[in-house]
Amino acid sequence: MKMGQTNDYIWNEETIEIIGKVFKTFRSNFPLKAGASPGVFGNIGPNSRIDNFITSDSVMEQATRPSDFNTNQGVRNRALYNVILEWATKLSTYGLPIVATTIGDIEACRLLGAGSDTVIFEGRTTSNVPVVIKYSLRDPPLKREAETLNILNEVMDIPKLLYENFNGMIPYIVTSMMGQKVCKVNARVACNIIIDILAVLKNLHGHNYIHNDIHPSNIVNVDGKYRLIDFGRAVPRSDKRETAPDDWPKGHIVFASHNWDKYPGAGDDLEALCYTVTFMHDQDKEYWRTAIQDPFKALHERKKKAFLSL
């Protein structure tokens, strides 16, 4: 393994070695201290007010976008939310939409979040099974997620696509796996997150796909197990290591691997998981504040310093 680059890995002792190297890097070069709760990244919450979720793709996401983008994003999300309610043929007892699907009517009961031109609800089937309803202003990312989940239908422990509707005025998909955000992470929970997500990644990579967007908002607790959600940036596993085109789906730059701008391999998911859990467990205020203010500088520092002492 060369300094500044995580190569692909196989599922044996090298998996643990990569984890150890990333944590050693942060311990040596970016001393970790207690900081703010990772809850600021949560996209799962009990409050149903849209204003609490405007540009809630996280503080980090807002920091990596121009201020005018975030302002406009908030306006678009609020407008999308209002239009969803106005155009719904039926509303639930919660004042939220009821969508008709091939698996029966699904009643939205809680707003989960609002991201980049998306609004997400918790829904309930007629048999009271919790599901997720995800609306989007933009067809391509939502279609990509639907197509990916269809392809990965046999992969265990990831969301299942239950229904898709791209023919209406506002496209949406319905998926399984309703989870809770992870707010309190001690050493034991951090280890459990790594163990559970490694198992998910093993299955995912075994089907030749890379999640490509691991960060705190995309890890949730599902019935006591930690799982990955949001496969909108998932891509087929590639043997390339060249620079990817600008329109290639890229993960969250603050948590992505050193190869953020290249075609990703399985090792890049693992590296992103390490950064994510490192942040969630014990946030160093100075380093992560720098990452918020200048994520490209933070990425450069990781490239320069990562594995330096190995």
The enclosing domain of 188 has a CATH number of 1.10.510.10
* 121 and 224 within one domain: no
**Are 246 and 224 within one domain?**
yes
Identify whether 3 is part of a domain: no
Tell me: do 30 and 62 sit in the same domain: no
What is residue 304's predicted lDDT score, i.e. its pLDDT? Answer: 64
Shared domain for 71 and 186, answered yes or no, is no
Tokens coding 227: 């799982």
Q: Is residue 161 part of a domain?
A: yes
Q: Give pLDDT < 70 ranges for the chain.
A: 1-71, 283-289, 303-310
| Residues 115 and 81 placed together within one structural domain of the fold | yes
Q: What is the pLDDT of residue 10?
A: 54
Residue 216 maps to a domain: yes
Cβ neighbour number for residue 82 with a 10 Å cutoff: 12
**Among 154, 175, 196, residue at a domain's last position:** 175
The two tokens of residue 72 are 């406009």
Q: What is the pTM of this model?
A: 0.77
Are 129 and 199 in a shared domain?
no
Burial annotation 158-177 (CB, 10 A radius, 16+ → b, else e): bbebbbbbeeeebbbbbbeb
- pLDDT the model gives residue 124: 95
Same domain, 171 and 183: no
- What is the domain-level CATH number for residue 104? 3.30.200.20
Same domain, 102 and 192: no
SS3 of the chain: the string is CCCCCCCCCCCCHHHHHHHHHHHHHHHHHCCCCCCCCHHHHCCCCCCCCHHHHCCCCCHHHHHCCCHHHHHHHHHHHHHHHHHHHHHCCCECCCCCEEEEECCEEEEEEEEEEECCCEEEEEEECCCCCEEEEEEECCHHHHHHHHHHHHHCCCCCCCCCEEEEECCCCCCEEEECCCCEECCCCCHHHHHHHHHHHHHHHHHHHHCCEECCCCCHHHEEEECCEEEECCCCCCEECCCCCCECCCCCCCCCCCCCCCCCCECCCHHHHHHHHHHHHHHHHCCCHHHHHHHHHCHHHHHHHHHHHCCCCC
Question: Final residue of a domain: which of 175, 200, 222?
Answer: 175
Q: Is residue 164 part of a domain?
A: yes
Domain membership flag for residue 235: yes
Do 159 and 244 lie in a common domain? no
- Interval 20-63: pLDDT, tens: 655 555 545 444 332 223 333 333 333 456 665 554 444 444 44
Q: In the chain, how many domains are there?
A: 2
Residue 186, in any domain of the structure: yes
- Residue 160 included in any domain: yes
Instruction: Enumerate long-range contacts of 274-277, CB under 8 Å, 24 or more apart.
Output: 274/18, 274/19, 274/22, 274/23, 275/22, 276/214, 276/215, 276/216, 276/219, 277/185, 277/190, 277/193, 277/194
- In this prediction, residue 51 carries a pLDDT of 62
What local confidence, expressed as pLDDT, does residue 53 receive? 55
Residues 50 and 171 reside in one and the same domain = yes
What is the domain range of residue 116? 45-175
- 123, 152, 175 — which closes off a domain? 175
